[in-house]
Structure 1
């Protein structure tokens, strides 16, 4: 019987250097000027956000290098694993999924790839579920089916009051950014599962308070509930707005299992200071 390891990228927010048997993580790359840093190992999300706040600098992000992915897989092979399940950040945000396939082909290990259609909390919960099912002795095909069902019942909704970083990143035009800033519009966006997790605009509101409510409303509209789902509310140096989102959510659903923390830099770097996101994912159905 195959011994199965889980391969992921650092967008999942699992500590690369932590103890997590059977889980191997390759760092995403963070660019600043002419420098490139390895996520978690050489720079953290809070490092990026604090520098953005001080200087308004633009950061770029990219997938793990083929070498980093190969190292993670070779570490798994060294530890006795002979098959991989890859759970990367959404294909709509990164080419990491394709990179995993290339690396696996190079090190000659079979890999089954599952598009998380998200990152951060959603990705982390999928990884934890995969590891649990591996330990239960389930086959790769059984695990893939259950994880893909979890993906279908997950989502990520975000807003940013700062359009300059979206403009610099090429996600909106300068004209749209200028008009939005003049009118003080706050765009609310969603990772669209039909587009592989690409960012799609849900609407625009005039205040961050309305944006906070729209995030919570959209989660409820998507069918999430306190019994069967876990949630994460993550921000770019905007803890008050993050708490407001939680308050709106729990007004509608009652007490929920919610993780509160900073966004991963791979998302937050493109949103700018003040950005907030909420994620939800259905618990593993056994």
Structure 2
């Protein structure tokens, strides 16, 4: 059986400790705070990011240089036969497109998924990938499964609009008006992109509508992995997780937004999400 390294970037919301425990390799993405660049989990901590966001500082993210990405590939290929890389959605970052182009120089040893995934669902997909590799499926087959069957749908509910305003994603005037009227937006992640789903007048109503939206149209909850993700808002997440499990009748995984995603959505954000479980449609190419 080929030895395959599974790889993501830190937009997958995975800590160093979790990555080590799961044997997942991670490309750490840069963060810029007041014109100073940091590498997430290398020279700036999750606690630092939370504190800075609460202080109202603007934090921007950027994609890792492709030279650093390929340098990691070359290092991994001294220990592994192949690399399977699931980056942040192509709709949210240029990393995916750049990595696909660069992988063509590696004679099939680096497989990059044309991704529509973000946040913790990337980790769940990589865990599915590893199980499929153990069953004898090739990197190419798993890539095709993910691109054809992979489906992420999530509702994000920011606690307030401060971070969205500081990042230039909404105007100061719009943020002020929304604050005055106590308007809370519901944002969707679907097909890898973020859009506005609805706007409601209270946070509790936003949570109820978000939960209903993520479950809408689902006939069999067991066909999906379900999750609730919070950005330093575990008390709300605990209560909502119970509501979600009761409504679905299946377990819901609970995790946290980390620095890269939280710097866009802000502290306090809650997300309800689901990903479809991948089901092989053909026999594995590799017997062992």
Query: What's the TM-score once normalised by structure 1's chain length?
Result: 0.86
Partner Cα separation in structure 2 for residue 71 and residue 19 of structure 1: 23
Equivalent of 2:225 in 226, 230, 233: 230
What residue is the counterpart of 1:182 in the other structure?
Answer: 180
What residue is the counterpart of 1:117 in the other structure?
Answer: 116
List aligned pairs for 1:33-182, cutoff 5 A: 33-53=34-54, 55-81=55-81, 83-105=82-104, 110-152=109-151, 154-182=152-180
* Deviations, residues 157-184 of structure 1 (Å, cap 9, x unaligned): 1011311211222222233212111111
The alignment yields a C-alpha RMSD, in angstroms, of: 2.4
Structure 1 residues 217, 277: CA separation in 2 closer, same or farther (over 3 Å shift)? same
Q: Is the 8 A contact 2:119 2:261 kept in 1?
A: no
Moved more, 258-267 or 198-207: 258-267
Structure 1 residues 68, 222: CA separation in 2 closer, same or farther (over 3 Å shift)? farther
Q: Is the 8 A contact 2:31 2:260 kept in 1?
A: yes
SS of match in other structure, 1:231: strand
Provide structure 2 residue ranges, at least 5 long, that are not aligned to the other structure: 281-288
What residue is the counterpart of 1:282 in the other structure?
Answer: 276
Partner Cα separation in structure 1 for residue 13 and residue 133 of structure 2: 21
What residue is the counterpart of 2:285 in the other structure?
Answer: none
Q: Is the 8 A contact 1:236 1:268 kept in 2?
A: yes
Q: Is the 8 A contact 1:155 1:191 kept in 2?
A: yes
Q: Could you tell me how far 1:51 is from its partner in structure 2?
A: 2.6
What residue is the counterpart of 1:219 in the other structure?
Answer: 214
Q: Could you tell me how far 1:242 is from its partner in structure 2?
A: 1.8
Q: Is the 8 A contact 2:159 2:270 kept in 1?
A: no
Q: Is the 8 A contact 2:88 2:96 kept in 1?
A: yes
> Does 2:254 correspond to 1:252?
no
Structure 1 residues 257, 250: CA separation in 2 closer, same or farther (over 3 Å shift)? closer
Structure 1 residues 15, 56: CA separation in 2 closer, same or farther (over 3 Å shift)? closer
SS of match in other structure, 2:170: coil
Provide structure 1 residue ranges, at least 5 long, that are not aligned to the other structure: none
Partner Cα separation in structure 1 for residue 223 and residue 181 of structure 2: 39
Q: Could you tell me how far 1:149 is from its partner in structure 2?
A: 4.4
Partner Cα separation in structure 1 for residue 253 and residue 272 of structure 2: 10
